[in-house]
Amino acid sequence: MKKRPKKNKKTSETDADWIGASLEKTMPGLEMCRLCHMGAGRGRKCLLPSQKAVAEVLDGLIGVLFPGCHGICPLEFGRSRSALRDQLRQVALTLEQQVAQALRYQCQVDNCDNCEDCAERARQAVRHVIDSLSAVQHTLQLDIRAAYEGDPAARSPMEIVLSYPCLQAIAAYRLAHLLYEKEVPLIPRVMTELAHSRTGIDIHPGAKIGPGFFIDHGTGVVIGETCVIGRNVKLYQGVTLGALSFPKDEHGHPIKGIQRHPRVGDNVTIYAEATILGGDTHIGDGAEIGGNVWLTHSVPPNSKVYNVQPDLKVKKGRGKSPP
Amino acid sequence: MKKRPKKNKKTSETDADWIGASLEKTMPGLEMCRLCHMGAGRGRKCLLPSQKAVAEVLDGLIGVLFPGCHGICPLEFGRSRSALRDQLRQVALTLEQQVAQALRYQCQVDNCDNCEDCAERARQAVRHVIDSLSAVQHTLQLDIRAAYEGDPAARSPMEIVLSYPCLQAIAAYRLAHLLYEKEVPLIPRVMTELAHSRTGIDIHPGAKIGPGFFIDHGTGVVIGETCVIGRNVKLYQGVTLGALSFPKDEHGHPIKGIQRHPRVGDNVTIYAEATILGGDTHIGDGAEIGGNVWLTHSVPPNSKVYNVQPDLKVKKGRGKSPP
Amino acid sequence: MKKRPKKNKKTSETDADWIGASLEKTMPGLEMCRLCHMGAGRGRKCLLPSQKAVAEVLDGLIGVLFPGCHGICPLEFGRSRSALRDQLRQVALTLEQQVAQALRYQCQVDNCDNCEDCAERARQAVRHVIDSLSAVQHTLQLDIRAAYEGDPAARSPMEIVLSYPCLQAIAAYRLAHLLYEKEVPLIPRVMTELAHSRTGIDIHPGAKIGPGFFIDHGTGVVIGETCVIGRNVKLYQGVTLGALSFPKDEHGHPIKGIQRHPRVGDNVTIYAEATILGGDTHIGDGAEIGGNVWLTHSVPPNSKVYNVQPDLKVKKGRGKSPP
């Protein structure tokens, strides 16, 4: 006999019941969201881009860029040129669809009624990506070389490709930047945030970054939208290249298109956890910025900037000192 | 002829052999773990919750909260209300099972012999989640609005939904907090740590956080269990709201239920890498805490707290200054 | 009628056309990469290790180490000893293949022409992993115990296994270190970087770390290749144990095998965001290093090292002070 009279009151609902009753109360509220101006209700005429599809595109492009390395996105060994071409064609078609959806969404937000251009603009953006792939691949090889030469722990260039998070973050950024140049909404940021999630490195697709770029360790790095970074620059974990404050228009909205983030010259090294802020801050070529430095003004080329060693309270313990 | 006499000694074992011999030695030790009080051996009567199942629940709930946005967890476009209801019912049943397993495990740890309540307590917890979904959805929409208005780089509210890590971390926290309120063990923390893994943002499910909460960039943010955060608060990357130290009982165990973490008022902004510690530390409404600030005492409303600009050692290099 | 004469010029290419034309231009450049010395072209005789296969090995080994816990890598409840053995055998075979590929790649990089040893060296490395599994499991149980006792928010040891990122990072490190000891290239780093991606904790496989190791929160922690860390050490988020600078050989390459990173004694606690640098820096047993401390010299046992509280600029606002 399975009756438990003591519990009868509480468990009188059947399995179907208790969930059903809760759902009945909850669904109308959720329904409101379905019909909101951001949702997929009847009032909205287009699909949104999908994170999953964008991730496939990103991984597919990186797979094409490193076709022989079973690294970031391994391809089968010895795939023929035609197999590579087929893969790239497939990726390009998915990207075209996603970009078109992103453009149509932005049209709605901006109350633009000339959506006929979206398909053509999507094609132009994807063509720009494909046409730039060789150049991006060449730049990434310079990035790999910089990492190999910059890290004493690296044993081979392939170790960079197979395991360094910076390569994944930089590759995603360089591809996303191509779409940013064509003013594609949503997709570039989805790409770089995917890399941010995987690596802890947050590079806005709008930044401009020269070749030979290396970030060691990487967790916590933030590079803002209007940063300009030269050639052969090396960052360590936790470096922020950020904004100080930004002028706002009469509605309190930040004015777009203003230089809010620093410019960093060629051959600059910025050590861990340094914070460099402001659109008027220029770091000259060859400069070296020490760990934890907080910098909101420009420094000339070949400068070395370090924190004055802070005073420490040391309460010495008992025990034999280490050798 | 394939014999290599020189190698005979080393490679005399066959493929099956060498692994088998190693396994023979290793298995008894591993067996011990299978039988340990934490393991799944004969001595343990219940299943543990599964990270994978909890991840499915979390993603399923977020998919229901953003049904039209092919964002965090895309649903098929134009799904009917009944499809949404079916999905939510499925998620609820999985959650009920996982919560019951977590409660039964905690019963064993606490040597409680009254496990009959576990099933009913699981139902009550899941009902609380479902009944609260509309309210959570509304709060998340205020969070999205806060992110859109707080970040000059954002072009549309949908950009927040599709790409901002803070939304994923905050949504996971708000759902996990519902289970925490019902004293469900294990599951809430698995949910927020899943979001931590994806975003670098570590919010304990016990924290209390008002609507309109925005975290820019986010990597390295830590928000402790007993934090209380008001409305329209904005954090940047690397902010810690942590504990200073905590009183322990006679066994050296920390006493539970004591306010260990700060309280933060409404409309507060805390810039990157600031550290605010201690259960007696209250940040007044409207305050602004600067980057890298280390704060262990209260500040009144509308205060602005900044580090005195630290002295820098600048060794100016040769070369033309940047303009 | 679907003709849009205005658009004729731009959209005259068919769907197949426009992509095909772009691909025609792009493929030759990409082809170059296929034939580069790092790629899978005809000039290279071996496969590279695959990130995906290494991830399977890592998750498989962790699943074997925690066979009953539906935690990091759940196994089916109640699996028999023979099922466990079968799983471990499968993992070992995959690992053997991956290690052999890594060794052969390194042979090519080093222009070694004695590749016959690679298969035997791979076996020895895998045997070392299997033979050490029990010891690693025991050490990890001490790590779990340290986390449970070190964090007042933890409610049960299983909460550590199911949700704490440090356990995943430390388990990956302890397994990768076994392969590092056998001088296996590539694979150890792929393992720890996989954990870095999931947890934000970056431990080089070369570090030597005693049992009872706990990292709270963890995001941003960096532990360098030549670190030596004692028993029962506790770190918080953002701690760096890094290099100051390192001597280079006549070609400008860093000299390998030099102690570049700190040594940390037993029972040391290092609070959040502290930075400890240099191969000559020894932290004595029982020392306590405060949050944000920047340390480049040794401290004796049982020392307490804290920052002098920095001066703050506080501009007090109007409004009622918090209680």
Asked if A195 and A111 sit in the same domain, the reply is: yes
Among B164, B307, B317, whose Cβ lies nearest the Cβ of A287? B317
- Does residue A290 lie in a domain region? yes
Asked if C235 and C179 sit in the same domain, the reply is: no
Asked if A178 and A304 sit in the same domain, the reply is: no
What are C151's strand-pairing partners? none
Q: Of A160 and B73, which is predicted with more confidence?
A: A160
Choose the most confident range, by mean pLDDT, from A11-15, A38-42, B118-122, C171-175. C171-175
CB B240 within 8 A of CB B261: no
Chain A environment of C284 (Cβ under 8 Å):
317, 319-322
Query: H or E segment at A161?
Result: helix A157-163
Looking at residue A205, its pLDDT comes to 97
Structure-token pair, residue A220: 């916590």
Inter-chain touch B311–A308, beta carbons under 8 Å: yes
Looking at residue A3, its pLDDT comes to 43
Structure-token pair, residue A167: 């390569």
CB A44 within 8 A of CB B156: no
Q: Give tens-digit pLDDT for A199-239.
A: 999 999 999 999 999 999 999 999 999 999 999 999 999 99
Inter-chain touch C312–B307, beta carbons under 8 Å: yes
Size of interface A-C (CB pairs under 8 A): 226
Predicted confidence (pLDDT) at residue B109 exceeds the cutoff of 90:
no
Mean pLDDT, all residues of chain B: 84
Asked if A231 and A152 sit in the same domain, the reply is: no
Residue C192 exposed, middle or buried by CB count within 10 Å (0-12, 13-18, 19+)? buried
Among B84, B92, B318, whose Cβ lies nearest the Cβ of A19? B92
- Is the C-alpha dihedral spanning A67, A70, A74, A77 positive or negative? positive
Q: Among A156, A168, A275, A318, which would you mutate to test the C interface (most chain C Cβ atoms within 10 Å of its Cβ)?
A: A156
State the Cα–Cα distance between residues B193 and B208, nearest whole angstrom: 17
Q: Kindly list the strands in the beta sheet with B228-229, ordered across the sheet, starting from the edge strand earlier in the chain.
A: B208-209, B228-229, B263-264, B282-283
Looking at residue C52, its pLDDT comes to 87
- Does residue C11 lie in a domain region? no
Looking at C133, C167, C200, the residue that finishes a domain is C200
- Is the C-alpha dihedral spanning A15, A18, A21, A24 positive or negative? negative
For chain C, which ranges sit under pLDDT 50?
1-13, 39-45, 70-78
- Does residue C209 lie in a domain region? no
Q: Determine the Cα angle at C94 with ends C122 and A167, to 5°.
A: 85
Looking at residue A323, its pLDDT comes to 52
pLDDT tier, B150 (very low <50, low <70, confident <90, very high otherwise): confident
Residue C316's region, left for phi above 0, alpha for psi from -120 to 50, else beta, is: beta
State the Cα–Cα distance between residues B33 and B86, nearest whole angstrom: 40
Nearest residue on chain C to A83, alpha-carbon basis: C27
Asked if C126 and C227 sit in the same domain, the reply is: no
C-alpha R_g of chain C: 26
Asked if B176 and B233 sit in the same domain, the reply is: no
- Does residue A33 lie in a domain region? no
Asked if A134 and A245 sit in the same domain, the reply is: no
CA distance B33 to chain C (A): 7
Helices first, then strands: H and E counts in chain B: 7, 15
CA-closest candidate to residue C161, choices C63, C71, C70 = C71
- Does residue C102 lie in a domain region? yes
Asked if B256 and B194 sit in the same domain, the reply is: no
Asked if B89 and B233 sit in the same domain, the reply is: no
Give the type of residue at A38: M
* Lowest mean pLDDT across A35-49, A157-171, B13-27, C48-62: A35-49
CA distance B139 to chain A (A): 12
Q: Give tens-digit pLDDT for B219-245.
A: 999 999 999 999 999 999 999 999 997
Chain C environment of A316 (Cβ under 8 Å):
299-300, 303
Q: Which chains touch C (3 or more CB pairs under 8 A)?
A: A, B
Q: How far apart are the first and last CA of chain A?
A: 74
State the Cα–Cα distance between residues A294 and B152, nearest whole angstrom: 23
Predicted confidence (pLDDT) at residue B316 exceeds the cutoff of 60:
yes
Size of interface B-C (CB pairs under 8 A): 226
Inter-chain touch C317–B298, beta carbons under 8 Å: no
Q: Of A161 and C249, which is predicted with more confidence?
A: A161
Nearest residue on chain C to B256, alpha-carbon basis: C152
Looking at residue C61, its pLDDT comes to 93
Structure-token pair, residue B314: 């600048």
Range A59-74 average pLDDT:
67
Q: Give tens-digit pLDDT for C294-312.
A: 999 999 999 999 998 878 8
Mean pLDDT, all residues of chain A: 84
Chain A environment of C302 (Cβ under 8 Å):
317-319
Helices of type H across C36-80:
51-65
Q: Which chains touch A (3 or more CB pairs under 8 A)?
A: B, C
Range B173-199 average pLDDT:
97
Q: Of C113 and B191, which is predicted with more confidence?
A: B191
For residue B289, give the 3-state DSSP assignment. Answer: strand
- Does residue B29 lie in a domain region? no
Distances (CA, A) of C274 to A108, C286, C297, C306: 48, 16, 13, 10
- Does residue C132 lie in a domain region? yes
Residue A214's region, left for phi above 0, alpha for psi from -120 to 50, else beta, is: beta
Inter-chain touch B158–A33, beta carbons under 8 Å: no
Among A26, A34, A303, whose Cβ lies nearest the Cβ of B67? A34
Inter-chain touch C307–A310, beta carbons under 8 Å: yes
pLDDT tier, A77 (very low <50, low <70, confident <90, very high otherwise): very low
CB B201 within 8 A of CB B166: yes
Nearest residue on chain A to B309, alpha-carbon basis: A294
Range A104-130 average pLDDT:
84
- Does residue B86 lie in a domain region? yes
Query: Which residues, in sequence order, are CB contacts of A297 under 8 Å at separation 6+?
Result: A278, A280, A281
State the Cα–Cα distance between residues B162 and A52, nearest whole angstrom: 11
Here the CATH number for the domain that contains residue C193 is: 1.10.3130.10
Q: Give tens-digit pLDDT for C101-115.
A: 899 888 877 777 666
- Domain hosting C98: range is 46-200
Distance of CA C250 to the CA centre of its chain: 31
Q: Are strands B304-307 and C312-315 parallel, antiparallel or unpaired?
A: antiparallel
pTM: 0.91
CA distance B113 to chain C (A): 17
* Lowest mean pLDDT across A219-228, A233-242, A270-279, B155-164: B155-164
Torsion of CA B36, B40, B45, B47, to 10 degrees: 140
Nearest residue on chain B to C151, alpha-carbon basis: B254
Q: Among C70, C75, C308, which would you mutate to test the B interface (most chain B Cβ atoms within 10 Å of its Cβ)?
A: C70
Range B270-275 average pLDDT:
97
Tell me which residue has tokens 């030790």.
Answer: B29
Inter-chain touch C165–B196, beta carbons under 8 Å: yes
Looking at residue B275, its pLDDT comes to 97
Predicted confidence (pLDDT) at residue A280 exceeds the cutoff of 90:
yes
Looking at residue B255, its pLDDT comes to 72
pLDDT tier, B271 (very low <50, low <70, confident <90, very high otherwise): very high
Looking at residue B42, its pLDDT comes to 36
Percent above pLDDT 70 for chain A: 80
CA distance C297 to chain A (A): 11
Chain C environment of B185 (Cβ under 8 Å):
155-156, 159
Among C4, C40, C222, whose Cβ lies nearest the Cβ of A217? C222
Query: H or E segment at B135?
Result: helix B117-150
Here the CATH number for the domain that contains residue A258 is: 2.160.10.10
Look at chain A and count its residues. 323
Q: Are strands C269-270 and A263-264 parallel, antiparallel or unpaired?
A: unpaired
Asked if C69 and C134 sit in the same domain, the reply is: yes
State the Cα–Cα distance between residues A36 and A44, nearest whole angstrom: 9
Looking at B170, B200, B230, the residue that finishes a domain is B200
Looking at A200, A228, A251, the residue that finishes a domain is A200
What is the number of domains present in chain A? 2
CB A212 within 8 A of CB A146: yes
Count other C-beta atoms under 10 Å from residue C274's C-beta: 23
Looking at residue B87, its pLDDT comes to 86
Tell me which residue has tokens 């109007």.
Answer: C318
Asked if C233 and C173 sit in the same domain, the reply is: no
Predicted confidence (pLDDT) at residue A14 exceeds the cutoff of 70:
no
Chain A environment of C204 (Cβ under 8 Å):
153
Tell me which residue has tokens 């005979």.
Answer: B8
Helices of type H across C39-163:
51-65, 81-109, 117-150, 157-163
Q: Of A69 and C301, which is predicted with more confidence?
A: C301
Q: Of C117 and B271, which is predicted with more confidence?
A: B271
Inter-chain touch A222–B220, beta carbons under 8 Å: no
Q: Are strands B294-295 and B275-277 parallel, antiparallel or unpaired?
A: parallel
Asked if C149 and C250 sit in the same domain, the reply is: no
CA distance B288 to chain C (A): 10
Q: Of B257 and B286, which is predicted with more confidence?
A: B286
CA-closest candidate to residue A219, choices C215, C288, B307 = C215
Predicted confidence (pLDDT) at residue A70 exceeds the cutoff of 50:
no
CB B207 within 8 A of CB B177: yes
